Structure 1
Amino acid sequence: METIDHGVYDFCFPHLFNVSCIKIARPYAVTLLIYTVLYIISMVTTTLNLLVVISLSHYKQLRTPTNLLLLSLGISDLSVGLLMFLQTLFVDGCWLFGDTMCIVYQYLSYVVTCASMGTIVLISVDRYVAICQPLHYYMRVTECRVRFCICLSWLCTVVYSAVVLRENMEKPGSFNTCSGQCVAAINYYVGIADLFISFIFPVGVIAVLYTRVFAVIMTQIRVMRSQITAAQSQRTVFANKSELKAARTLGVVIIMFLICLCPYYFVVLTGQDTVLDASNAAAVLYLVYFNSCLNPIIYTFFYSWFRKYDLLHNEQKLYQE
């Protein structure tokens, strides 16, 4: 039987070395690099989303239905950024707050990431109605309805996360193999169901709606180009830039969404139970968290073009009527 040299290994709880997890041994330069990168991502995520939340909450003139959705997205992503600060403390592979706080952390992490994803779906629906059905937008998409949809989305996320992590919540720490580990295990079949509910379905909805939005934008751009009385060269440049902007915006939204979330759900399909190890700082989890850093950039800077296009589109429709 192999014995462990206690003088060689560094334990999470030295006084409990018989049951304690062993800290991850890395060169100092690697550890410093990991800490630096994670702290920068956490800081950027928290700062950007905090600015979004403060701006949309403080200025009443910004409280439009679309911005309420961006506010919900900012709150969920801000929570992810704060949780990432906690996550960076355990790069060495040790969880120091006990089994109960472990499952609370895992549950909150699951809630805020799912809420972020649900809000992105609502934003895609909002943009679909605004661009594809502009004359009905202000009648169908009101602040009260948007608030109701946001609350319903968060409520469903809270309940759904509890269902997915039910076994872990009933017996906190039951999947840990040593003291100092923070593991939440998801049954393989529950993981497959989660794959369809929280990934394939949202991505499918977003892809279908944005494909339709892109088609409408291209049609409208060509109509607007034909109506412009300026020189032929100016019309061509305008149209090409608009088409490129639309394609780039939609492409960034969908591609970054897939890049950040695909690795995690690939783990679900490996044929075994999915284990989420907070104390081991899994790279796939950090990719999911990194999506919350990108969201305020994508939906604040890139999405501003959609809102400007929406106003121009509405004005043109009303003029034609």
Structure 2
Amino acid sequence: MGLTGAVLYTAVEMVIAVGSILGNALVIAAVCSIKGLREPTFCFLTSLATADLLVGCLAIPLAVVVDGRVAMSAQACLFSSCLLILPTLASILSLLAIAVDRYLRVYVPLRYRRSVTEKQSWLVVAVCWVVAAVMSFTPVFGWNNQPTVSPAALSPNSSSSAIVCRFTAVISMSYLVYFTFFLCNLLPLVTMALLYCYIFCSIRRSLQEMPGRSGLSESRSCLKKERRLATSLSLVLALFALSWLPLHIMNCIVYFSASVVPLTAFYVGILLSHANSAINPIVYAFKIPKITHAYLKIWSRVTGRSGRRGSSQPQSSQSLDAASSNNQAATDLGIEKKMAALV
């Protein structure tokens, strides 16, 4: 890639990074500041937003660094490359947690309501990140290309132990294909696709059985809300797959057939995978009403509109929110009992 291409690539990466940081910081602020978004699904959505935030502030800068532009020790290059993989694996595990959460909510609604708490959800989030860290740093424990780094990769302006850091020079292609793609991406993606298929089929079957029954308008409305949220979350999953599959497929082509893939195609694949992190907050805003409402609340606080009606207004608003939340919880419990009889 020539100088013009390198400058253009870096500029686009920086634009994506800024969009990822600002958009996902807003998502995290929305979930943390609005009490109505403390449900388990939104805990996992916060984990996904955190991974996307790290793409902007960590993965994208590292992607530029490990592109043959900086000389460092082989160990430092390997560590940086592994750190680059972490947000991706955390994202896929967060998406898997969201899919399992929605599946349980439809499959065992009453038990889900009684058993699943916000604390347990954050514990699952912590487990996802620990597992993602272990999987992303697997190359550090031996599955890497360090022993085969050629003398040609040595930096002429540095000590003999320094190399020009390139991701593919230290990360084994077999690790990227068999472990990262087949095991950590493709298998979870297939699992999530099956879970969402079950969710949609179950909801559709329940809706078809309802017209002949009386007094189930609330249950029907609740099922439609579940379907809308599942549709939005499945769209997030589909965008993730479409953004990352081209890069993984190119890795498979290089590894299995030894064919030469144009370098420009790899850079486009990298940009596409990173752009997914900037697109997700936009999808939340347009497809998930609770997130949209939270965005508007934050905007009102930032612009100071909520403070123009006096100091008693925020307290009154909080009281109404609390009462509404309690009433909604009671309504949901009654609706879910009806759902349990249908699913």
Secondary structure, in 3 states, of the residue corresponding to 2:70? coil
How many Å apart are 1:47 and its aligned residue?
A: 0.8
How many Å apart are 1:319 and its aligned residue?
A: 5.4
Q: Distance in 1 between matches of 2:234 and 2:290?
A: 14
Is 1:206–2:182 an aligned residue pair? no
Q: Distance in 2 between matches of 1:267 and 1:59?
A: 42
Aligned match of 2:44 = 69
Q: Distance in 1 between matches of 2:7 and 2:212?
A: 58
Q: What 5-or-longer segments of structure 1 have no aligned partner?
A: 1-23, 230-237, 275-279
Aligned match of 1:153 = 128
Asked whether the 8 Å contact 1:53–1:74 carries over to 2, the reply is yes
Matched AA of 2:12? V
Aligned match of 1:25 = 2
Match of 2:32 among 53, 57, 60: 57
Aligned positions, number:
278
* 1:243–1:128 distance in 2 versus 1, CA, 3 Å: closer
Q: Distance in 1 between matches of 2:10 and 2:251?
A: 27
* 1:271–1:84 distance in 2 versus 1, CA, 3 Å: closer
Matches within 5 A, 1:218-237: 218-225=204-211
Aligned match of 2:117 = 142
Aligned match of 1:133 = 108
How many Å apart are 1:116 and its aligned residue?
A: 1.0
How many Å apart are 1:120 and its aligned residue?
A: 0.5
Aligned match of 1:177 = 153
Q: State the percentage of identical aligned residues.
A: 23
Matched AA of 1:316? I
* 1:114–1:88 distance in 2 versus 1, CA, 3 Å: closer
Q: Distance in 1 between matches of 2:248 and 2:227?
A: 31
Q: Distance in 1 between matches of 2:122 and 2:286?
A: 23
Asked whether the 8 Å contact 1:90–1:281 carries over to 2, the reply is no
Secondary structure, in 3 states, of the residue corresponding to 1:98? strand
How many Å apart are 1:208 and its aligned residue?
A: 0.9
How many Å apart are 1:73 and its aligned residue?
A: 1.3
How many Å apart are 1:165 and its aligned residue?
A: 4.7
Is 1:284–2:269 an aligned residue pair? yes
How many Å apart are 1:121 and its aligned residue?
A: 0.2
Matched AA of 2:335? Q
Asked whether the 8 Å contact 2:229–2:288 carries over to 1, the reply is no
Cα RMSD, aligned residues only = 4.0
* 1:249–1:75 distance in 2 versus 1, CA, 3 Å: closer
Asked whether the 8 Å contact 1:50–1:78 carries over to 2, the reply is yes
Secondary structure, in 3 states, of the residue corresponding to 1:202? helix
Matched AA of 2:111? H
Secondary structure, in 3 states, of the residue corresponding to 1:96? strand
Deviation sequence 1:194-220 (CA, Å, 0-9, x none): 333211211121011100011122123
Aligned match of 2:90 = 115
Aligned match of 2:312 = none
Q: Distance in 2 between matches of 1:244 and 1:204?
A: 20
Asked whether the 8 Å contact 1:164–1:190 carries over to 2, the reply is no
Matched AA of 2:188? P
Q: Distance in 2 between matches of 1:299 and 1:140?
A: 27
Q: Distance in 1 between matches of 2:148 and 2:289?
A: 45
Secondary structure, in 3 states, of the residue corresponding to 2:171? strand
Deviation sequence 1:230-253 (CA, Å, 0-9, x none): xxxxxxxx9xx9899579536623
Asked whether the 8 Å contact 2:82–2:139 carries over to 1, the reply is no
* 1:216–1:298 distance in 2 versus 1, CA, 3 Å: farther
Matched AA of 1:174? V
Query: More helix per residue: 1 or 2?
Result: 2
Asked whether the 8 Å contact 2:63–2:84 carries over to 1, the reply is no
How many Å apart are 1:51 and its aligned residue?
A: 0.9
How many Å apart are 1:257 and its aligned residue?
A: 2.4
Q: Distance in 1 between matches of 2:225 and 2:102?
A: 17
Matched AA of 1:286? L
Q: Distance in 2 between matches of 1:188 and 1:159?
A: 17
Aligned match of 1:259 = 242
Aligned match of 2:280 = 295
Q: What 5-or-longer segments of structure 2 have no aligned partner?
A: 156-163, 216-220, 259-264, 292-327
* 1:156–1:223 distance in 2 versus 1, CA, 3 Å: same
Bigger CA drift: 76-85 or 99-108? 99-108
Aligned match of 1:95 = 69
Asked whether the 8 Å contact 1:188–1:268 carries over to 2, the reply is no
Asked whether the 8 Å contact 1:253–1:298 carries over to 2, the reply is yes
How many Å apart are 1:119 and its aligned residue?
A: 0.6
Asked whether the 8 Å contact 1:126–1:141 carries over to 2, the reply is no
Normalising by structure 1, report the TM-score.
Answer: 0.70
